[in-house]
């Protein structure tokens, strides 16, 4: 998709579709009061073109509500689309992002391939709103129908952001560039997650990550079974041993010039390219979606893409542990004991009793976290579709976040005001750690049904030790079950933007 900026008067822009945002400016608390939809533009000709329709009361400017006008009087545009933001008092950078996505997704099925979206009046001097608008439009352009034999590619060809003539042009150009990077990086994660297990094996995921790394200037390594054995990654190796597909240990490095001191951030992602549950096999219903079990790894790969293109001034190492979790004659069994990677040569690796082979994500992350610490990272963040329990706790709306360090968590929380992604902090504690103590080994890989997301986080905490750390359990929100006005059904790419903001905070 080509992107551009325009500082021309809206009425004179010739385009297939001009999108303008509107808000409900009604301030009374009377529930019977009628909405007052108001266009967020100072262009009098656009206001005049929409005045008659707005006067009918049919359009209320609710969030992501749309109304389309053909051949609007006095405008060079062939169509005028008005997109609601909801109550103006509650409108935020996030509602602007969603509205831009709504505009693009409205246009696509109608065969419209170029769109101009207007930066709302009074938001034009905010770099965040401009970035969010571009992000939303790019994210809205993604569709998951990659393998349809008669696919009708409806991708948007041209996106133009219309800014006021007096806007800071350099800032607007920077916002456009950043929005494209973040939106395309999130879509890159979505494209990986969308791939079927037979098209994206651990080996192919490593190849895709390496190709991306070469394109943006990241350092990279992709290893397999021999390296896992050399590093004594017994937990990671145990997950892969039931599959004919070899595992992949993906390492991406971002080392900006002139930065030789300060923090080294570690990004660790679960990359289970298909999860049957292993011997503790999952029910057949919805198992097809288990191709998404590498969404945490995809988020880390995509975040590294954005970090490199944004040229952030901090060193970052990403580790993705990719494997298939399959049942076979060589698969690990409930009751087996595995030995995780030792942190130092003179220390034994922790032993893990395998209670349930479907609790495999924490096994690969355990060795990934240990390896990241061995490489010298000072702060850690991991992301994984780790537990169904997080959906029981928070539904399909909010992801879970855990942390052993309030200062590190505060950085992440501050970024959510920018990204708009919904995360909720859950507790850690010795009482939960006690639940996963094993009678035969150091720990067991599941503590049972109750508090399952928390005991999974405590399992990882065992390997993190005192390193400042954040754990993102994204299982409930990594897949959009039903299409929304601003995003397609399918992979969401959640956490990419929030991980980037966390890295930016350093």
SS3 268: strand
Q: Confirm if 296 and 384 have CB atoms less than 8 A apart.
A: yes
Q: What confidence category does residue 345 fall into, taking pLDDT thresholds of 50, 70 and 90?
A: confident
CA atoms within 13 A on the CB side of 134: 28
282 has catalytic annotation: yes
Asked about 78 being catalytic, the answer comes back as: no
User: For the whole prediction, is pTM greater than 0.95?
Assistant: yes
132 vs 108: CA distance, rounded Å = 20
CA 304 to chain centre: 12
Task: Quickly list DSSP for 135-178.
Answer: HHHHHHT----TT-TT-------EEEEE--TTS-HHHHHHHHHH
Q: Cα-flanking dihedrals φ and ψ of residue 488, to 5°? A: -75, 155
Lookup: tokens for 28: 């009374």
24-38, 329-343, 377-391, 392-406: which has the minimum mean pLDDT?
24-38
Label residue 416 exposed, middle or buried (CB < 10 Å: 0-12, 13-18, 19+).
middle
As a whole number of angstroms, the distance between CA 460 and CA 216 comes to 31
Mean pLDDT of 458-462: 98
Q: What helix, strand, coil percent values describe the chain, rounded to 5?
A: 40, 20, 40
Say which of 362, 373, 444, 497 is annotated catalytic: 362
Cα separation values, 151 from 167, 180, 299, 479, Å: 40, 25, 27, 22
pLDDT for the residue numbered 125 = 54
Residues 6+ apart with CB under 8 A from 293: 270, 272, 273, 274, 275, 325, 361, 385
Is the model's pLDDT at 123 over the cut of 70? no
342 DSSP 8-state letter: P
Q: Which of 282, 396, 422, 504 is catalytic?
A: 282
- The continuous run of DSSP H or E covering 455 comes out as helix 452-464
Per CATH, the homologous superfamily of domain 187-504 is Zn peptidases (3.40.630.10)
Please give the CATH topology (third level) of the domain spanning 2-165. 3.40.220
pLDDT of residue 142: 97
306-328 pLDDT, tens digit per residue, is 999 999 999 999 999 999 999 99
Q: Where are the domains of the chain?
A: 2-165, 187-504
């Amino acid at each position: 998709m080509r992107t551009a900026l325009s500082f021309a008067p809206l009425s004179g822009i010739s385009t297939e579709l001009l999108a303008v945002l509107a808000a409900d400016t009604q301030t009374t608390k009377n529930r019977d009061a009628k909405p007052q939809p108001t266009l967020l533009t100072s262009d009098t000709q656009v206001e005049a073109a929409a005045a008659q329709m707005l006067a009918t009361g049919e359009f209320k400017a609710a969030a992501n509500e749309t109304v389309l006008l053909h051949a609007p009087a006095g405008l060079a545009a062939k169509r005028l689309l008005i997109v609601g933001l909801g109550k103006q008092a509650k409108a935020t950078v996030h509602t602007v992002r969603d509205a831009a996505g709504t505009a693009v997704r409205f246009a696509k099925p109608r065969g419209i391939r170029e769109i101009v979206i207007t930066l709302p009046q009074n938001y034009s001097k905010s770099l965040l709103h401009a970035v969010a608008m571009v992000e939303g439009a790019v994210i809205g352009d993604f569709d998951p129908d990659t393998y349809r034999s008669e696919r009708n590619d409806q991708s948007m060809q041209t996106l133009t952001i219309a800014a006021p003539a007096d806007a800071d042009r350099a800032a607007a150009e920077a916002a456009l560039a950043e929005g494209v990077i973040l939106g395309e990086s999130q879509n890159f994660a979505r494209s990986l997650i969308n791939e079927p297990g037979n098209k994206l094996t651990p080996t192919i995921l490593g190849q895709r990550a390496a190709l991306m790394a070469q394109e943006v200037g990241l350092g990279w390594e992709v290893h397999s079974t021999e390296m896992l054995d050399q590093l004594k990654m017994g937990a990671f190796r145990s997950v892969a041993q039931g599959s004919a597909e070899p595992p992949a240990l993906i390492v991406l490095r971002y080392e900006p010039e002139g930065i030789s001191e300060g923090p080294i951030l570690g990004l660790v992602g679960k990359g289970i390219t298909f999860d049957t549950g292993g011997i503790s096999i999952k029910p057949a219903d919805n198992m097809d979606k288990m191709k998404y079990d590498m969404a945490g790894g995809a988020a880390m790969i995509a975040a590294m893409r954005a970090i490199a293109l944004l040229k952030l001034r901090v060193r970052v190492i990403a580790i993705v542990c990719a494997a298939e979790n399959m049942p076979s004659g060589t698969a690990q069994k409930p009751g087996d004991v595995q030995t995780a990677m030792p942190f130092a040569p003179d220390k034994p690796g922790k032993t893990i009793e395998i209670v349930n082979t479907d609790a495999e994500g924490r096994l690969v992350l355990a060795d990934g976290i240990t390896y990241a610490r061995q490489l010298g990272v000072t702060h850690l963040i991991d992301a994984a579709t780790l537990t169904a329990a997080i959906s029981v706790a928070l539904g399909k709306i909010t992801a879970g976040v855990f942390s052993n360090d309030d200062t590190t968590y505060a950085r992440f929380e501050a970024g959510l005001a920018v990204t708009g992604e919904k995360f909720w902090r859950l507790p850690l504690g010795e009482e939960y750690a006690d639940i996963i103590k094993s009678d035969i080994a150091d720990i067991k890989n599941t503590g049972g049904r109750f508090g399952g997301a928390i005991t999974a986080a405590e399992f990882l905490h065992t390997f993190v030790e005192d390193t400042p750390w954040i754990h993102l359990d994204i299982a409930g929100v990594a897949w959009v079950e039903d299409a929304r006005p601003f995003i397609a059904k399918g992979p969401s790419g959640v956490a990419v933007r929030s991980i980037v903001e966390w890295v930016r905070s350093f």
